[in-house]
Chain A
């Protein structure tokens, strides 16, 4: 049989099936989620990472409170800083039964590599939390608070350490410095551990980082927290002002949210928005937010898509201005 024949026959079959389907579609749609369908949950990173822990926490909550009627198959599809996993979800275009969680790489990987997808392509469900950063100096430093820091930075050349360049670690201090009117040299490190060692050894003047990993050093007085980039300061950092409090809000953070494949049915999107509204009310979710020192920032549906586009555009703008990307 030739290909042409196959096409024709398939075409005819489609036509024959199309009429009943057209009638059936609304009925199926109303029934979302169909308990007979397995939910294909992609984690775009390996086990044990931040994205993995968040996804498994949500799945646990869904199961504990019986929020999803069907089976959920969780699969780690790691590789290429998330490109593989989100690429897989991108390939399920139109389906309501593929789902994935996002993290910082969701915004940065498309900026660094030729991925076929962009963050705004996916059907947004909800932004659940953001990863925000705290600016710290060495505990032996004379700088006691953010005002002194800004004054010092305006008068002296300073260095600020962070992890990577195509990363919120670079964007946040850059935007903050623009707003507060000082200049600095950014020193890029491979990991939080490397930059913390650099600050402890007094090689750099300050650094930005996720507070969770350095709370112990802040408690002991080895590091001094000056300002927090999120919308509200987490309990563990009580007394530290946000960038908004000191009048230099920058509004950039790493999105931890939930997405469906591109062009997912509106019913699926609506179902997941309603479900996540219940998930974020659970005590388990509150514990997750607290243990990981995340900022609970919740946005639903199209607002999340706008947030993603804005974040990515902001990133691209800053990175282009320093020549990191073309």
Chain B
């Protein structure tokens, strides 16, 4: 998995460097350091360093496959299922916020997340899912007059 993450970073680094070279000039017309100066250096170094790290990771994997002990940098085992579930819910929340605004989406998200993570305790979950967003809404919107995400679609209540 480390290699997968590193390859993703490499992809991002290549994309970043591509734009730095394609769209941004190294020097300005007047001969000053241009907008592409720093991005090009950063992008190229990032590509090189990520390649080195991928080589390291491949070497580690070969060693582990050959029966060696995992190195210090290898990730501890964990519950990928729970991680993916939580991330999926967080991303769902991000979409809900855009659609229904801060208050409604928070109630929906907390209701769903607690039902999955804290199963069986319906009363406790319902209370948290309603009281917590209500308090946050009151504090942010009423007391502090802070920005709350506006709803794209107004629900009928």
The one of A46, A185, A322 that contacts B147, using a Cβ cutoff of 8 Å:
A46
Residue-by-residue, is A70-107 near B (CB-CB < 8 Å gives 1, otherwise 0)? 00000011100000000000000000000000000000
B29 touches A47 (CB 8 A): no
B-side interface mostly: loop
Number of residues from A at the complex interface, CB < 8 A: 8
B28 touches A47 (CB 8 A): no
A76 touches B29 (CB 8 A): no
A323 touches B29 (CB 8 A): yes
Task: Verify if B124 is at the interface (C-beta below 8 Å from A).
Answer: no
Task: For A78, list chain B residues within 8 Å (CB).
Answer: 147
B147 touches A323 (CB 8 A): no
Task: Verify if B145 is at the interface (C-beta below 8 Å from A).
Answer: yes
B29 to chain A, nearest CB (A): 6
A323 touches B145 (CB 8 A): no
Task: For A323, list chain B residues within 8 Å (CB).
Answer: 28-29
B35 to chain A, nearest CB (A): 10
Residue-by-residue, is B93-132 near A (CB-CB < 8 Å gives 1, otherwise 0)? 0000000000000000000000000000000000000000
Question: What residue in chain B is nearest A323 (Cβ atoms)?
Answer: B29
B28 touches A76 (CB 8 A): no
Question: What residue in chain B is nearest A88 (Cβ atoms)?
Answer: B150
Question: What residue in chain A is nearest B29 (Cβ atoms)?
Answer: A323
Residue-by-residue, is B137-149 near A (CB-CB < 8 Å gives 1, otherwise 0)? 0000000010100
Task: For B29, list chain A residues within 8 Å (CB).
Answer: 322-323
Q: Could you tell me the distance between the alpha carbons of A78 and B30 in the complex, rounded to whole angstroms?
A: 36
Task: For B30, list chain A residues within 8 Å (CB).
Answer: 185
8 interchain residue pairs of minimum CB distance: A323-B29, A78-B147, A47-B145, A76-B147, A46-B147, A323-B28, A322-B29, A77-B150
Q: Can you give 10 A-B contacts (C-beta < 8 A)?
A: A46-B147, A47-B145, A76-B145, A76-B147, A77-B150, A78-B147, A185-B30, A322-B29, A323-B28, A323-B29
